[in-house]
Amino acid sequence: MIVRIFSDGQYRIPEDAQPRLHELDVQTVNAIDADDEAAFTSSYGALVELIHSAGERLADDDLEPSDLMLPPSDITLEEAREEFTGEGLIPD
Amino acid sequence: MAGLTGRMSTIVKAKVSKVLDRAEDPAETLDYSYSKQLELLQNVKKGIADVVTSKKRLQLQEASMQQQVVKLDTQARQALAANREDLARVALERKQSVQTELQSLDSQIGELEAQQQKLIDSEAAMRAKLEAFRTKKEVIKAQYSAAEAQVRISEAATGVGEQMADVGLAMQRALDKTENMKARASAVGELEDSGTFEDLTQLGPGKDDIDRQLEAIGAGGAVDDELAKLKGEMGAGAPPPAALDAPAPAPDAAEPAQGAEPAEDAEPAQDAEPAQDAP
């Protein structure tokens, strides 16, 4: 599976790391729902860390599309909430 | 999947395919996204320039606040030397608040710097993908049937499209930050203009109330300092002054005991601003 972290790059994630990735993703969303900044920072930080450590970075000129996309690692809780409720972070 | 990742992916994919769907045949898809990319890269260049300008402005502000810290520190020393602990306290309080302001400025400059770097990296990745895309399109067209080529080219174009969304987001965030900084810088500017800021952290080279009060006692204090300094410099030939005596052990603040009142004699030596020299 290929994951893109915005403002970072694309990573090929081995299958055995995927359950943990989903787990952290759910934790992150729960933290957003609970409006818990500290929990958000730590769970999203762990998610990014997992991708960096378990994933293999693709070259910049690789044209493979990603299966999953994540917001930038320094995203704030407020921006993340915008991602769910507003127009989303991605400009047209 | 409904997580943050899923949400983000859905949005990006929808946007990318909206762009790519406008073209029907592979060549058109390529050409369309190619011109789109060039357009975007031009905007990114402007975006980067904007961030740099904004950063420079903050750095100028930072420099003048650093000068202010030095000045307030000098004022505090002068005030203490003149036995004006109250005045020294005011100067130190202001120094504190300028320093606090400086710290936040510093972290804002850091953030701006980080956004700028991300934008530059994103743009570089975009260029790399663009080049790869242009090469690959020819290879694909040569190797596959039209239908197959269409599928493969669309896939490659999606990879480029994602990067486009990535650059777009990096740019938007950098510009948002820049806007915030601009607003902040002009707010500080307005405070300065209205004189409000002057009380707290006067940035200009003019004189504030601490200066004025120091000047008021300056005839005594600063001139004495000048005198003491002069005496020290000329001391070589003169009878050894208090220099080698045990330094006045008086535990109460002000060390320069020359305050006695030789000030009277010093009166004629009224230079424009003798206060400047006392470090």
Report CB contact under 8 Å: B162, A66: yes
Report CB contact under 8 Å: B15, A62: no
Residue A67 touches chain B, beta carbons under 8 Å: yes
| Cα A92 to chain centroid, rounded | 20
Rounded Cα distance between A45 and A49, Å, is 6
pLDDT at B205: 47
pLDDT at B134: 83
| Residue B253 or residue B145, greater confidence | B145
Judged by CB atoms within 8 Å, which residues 34-53 of A form the interface with B?
A: 44
Report CB contact under 8 Å: B8, A88: yes
Asked if residue A60 lies in contact with residue B124, where contact means CB atoms within 8 angstroms, the answer is: yes
Residue B22 touches chain A, beta carbons under 8 Å: no
Q: Which ranges of chain B would DSSP assign to H, the alpha helix?
A: 4-20, 26-81, 85-143, 146-194, 196-201, 209-218, 221-234, 263-266
| Cα B115 to chain centroid, rounded | 13
Residues B214-234 as b or e (16 or more Cβ within 10 Å = b): beebbbbbbbbbbbbeeeeee
- DSSP string for B87-125: HHHHHHHHHHHHHHHHHHHHHHHHHHHHHHHHHHHHHHH
Contacts of B114 in chain A (CB under 8 A): 74
State residue A10 phi and psi, 5-degree precision: -105, 145
For chain A, the average pLDDT equals 88
For chain B, the average pLDDT equals 71
**Alpha carbon of B153: minimum distance to chain A alpha carbons (Å):** 10
> Which residues, 6+ apart, have CB-to-CB distance to B242 below 8 Å?
B248
pLDDT at B97: 84
For A25, name the nearest residue in chain B, comparing CA atoms only: B3
Query: The dihedral of CA B129, B130, B135, B137: what is its sign?
Result: positive
DSSP A86: S
pLDDT at A44: 93
- Position A70 pLDDT exceeds 50: yes
- Position B44 pLDDT exceeds 70: yes
Q: Identify which of B3, B11, B128 has the shortest CB distance to residue A29.
A: B3
- Position B198 pLDDT exceeds 80: no
Report CB contact under 8 Å: A90, B11: yes
Residue B176 touches chain A, beta carbons under 8 Å: no
Per-residue pLDDT, averaged over B185-195, amounts to 59
For an interface test with B, give the residue of A60, A62, A74 to mutate (most B CBs within 10 A). Answer: A60
Tens-place pLDDT, residues B162-183: 888 888 888 888 888 888 777 7
Nearest to A70 by CA among B174, B9, B1, B163: B9
- DSSP string for B150-175: HHHHHHHHHHHHHHHHHHHHHHHHHH
ipTM of the complex in this document: 0.85
Grade residue A40 by pLDDT with cuts at 50, 70 and 90. Answer: very high
pLDDT at B203: 39
Report CB contact under 8 Å: A70, B172: no
Nearest to B80 by CA among B256, B276, B213, B270: B256
**Alpha carbon of A64: minimum distance to chain B alpha carbons (Å):** 5
Q: Identify which of A7, A26, A83 has the shortest CB distance to residue B166.
A: A7
Give the up-direction half-sphere exposure of residue B98: CA atoms within 13 A in the CB hemisphere.
26
Per-residue pLDDT, averaged over B22-50, amounts to 71
Question: What percent of chain B shows pLDDT beyond 90?
Answer: 0
Lowest mean pLDDT among A78-87, B108-117, B197-206, B232-241: B197-206
Residue B168 touches chain A, beta carbons under 8 Å: yes
Grade residue B276 by pLDDT with cuts at 50, 70 and 90. Answer: very low
For an interface test with B, give the residue of A3, A6, A67 to mutate (most B CBs within 10 A). Answer: A6
Tens-place pLDDT, residues B244-272: 444 444 444 444 444 444 444 444 444 44
